[in-house]
Amino acid sequence: MTARSATAVLARTEARLFLREPGTLLLALLLPTVLLVGLGAVPALREPSPAFGGQAFLSGYTPSLLGWSLAFLALQTMPANLVAYREKGILRRLAITPVRPAVVLQVQLLLNVVTAAIAMVLVVVVAVGVFGSAPPRHPLAFAAAFVIGSASMFALGLLIAALAPRAKAAAALGTLGLLVTQFFGGLYLPRFLLPEVIVRIGEFVPPGIGAFQSAWTGDGATPVQLTVLSAVAVVATVAAVRYFRWE
């Protein structure tokens, strides 16, 4: 078996295993859309209101739902899987096959990034097509914010996988990261209701919900936001490469 065919087999196997995890698919892929549908069913939340910073609650909250999928996949799903593979010796055994262990990282990263992108598309389509929300005002800035924000989140996920000695430790670190990023991202309490200092800090906390929101309803993501998120992605990736252990 050639390295290319072995890689294709591994990719198909990983995809099947991923699809057999209904909890992951439900929480990462469908939960944001389900929450959006539930909130959108309330007419008052679709209308602009001074109580919501002059905008509709749904418009201000939708970017926070996008951050959930990224954080769940990047900080919980991917690191736990990679550390479990290392703990079980799978990565070590792959070293003597045509497929190098690094291919597992690439496949896992690809699967989770694609899932996050699908979740993002679902949320945007439902928000705009079903509930009549305005589409992102700056689509290119929104796409850039999503790509850079995703890179920062998955880089942190790789760092967790590099540092966690056991799968349980990876899950614990991922849960902590999930809670922190979603707090600053406005999932628990919308950003326009948070204290100003929390909002300012959240502008630069991955995945950059502030950048998502600015691109969707404001003047576009600022260069400072994107630069900070890019720096997080680079630093976390370098650290993950430095400390990642295959066994």
Q: What is the DSSP string of 205-232?
A: STTTHHHHHHHHHSS---HHHHHHHHHH
Please tell me which of 2-6, 23-27, 157-161 the model is most confident about, judged by mean pLDDT: 157-161
Which pLDDT does position 6 carry in this prediction? 60
| pLDDT category of residue 38 using cuts at 50, 70 and 90 | very high
Which pLDDT does position 161 carry in this prediction? 92
Please say whether the beta carbons of 69 and 116 come within 8 A.
Answer: yes
Q: Over pLDDT 70: what percentage of the chain?
A: 92
Kindly give the interhelix angle for 78-87 and 139-163, rounded to the nearest 10 degrees: 30
- Which backbone phi and psi does 238 adopt, to 5 degrees? -60, -45
Mean pLDDT rounded to a whole number for the chain: 86
94/100 Cα distance (integer angstroms): 6
Buried b (16+ CB within 10 A) or exposed e, 193-222: ebeeeebeebbbbbbbbbbbbbbbbeebbb
Q: Look at 46 and 33; give whichever has higher pLDDT.
A: 33
| pLDDT category of residue 86 using cuts at 50, 70 and 90 | confident
- For residue 233, the one-letter residue type is A
70/116 Cα distance (integer angstroms): 6
| Residue 53 confidence (pLDDT) above 80 | no
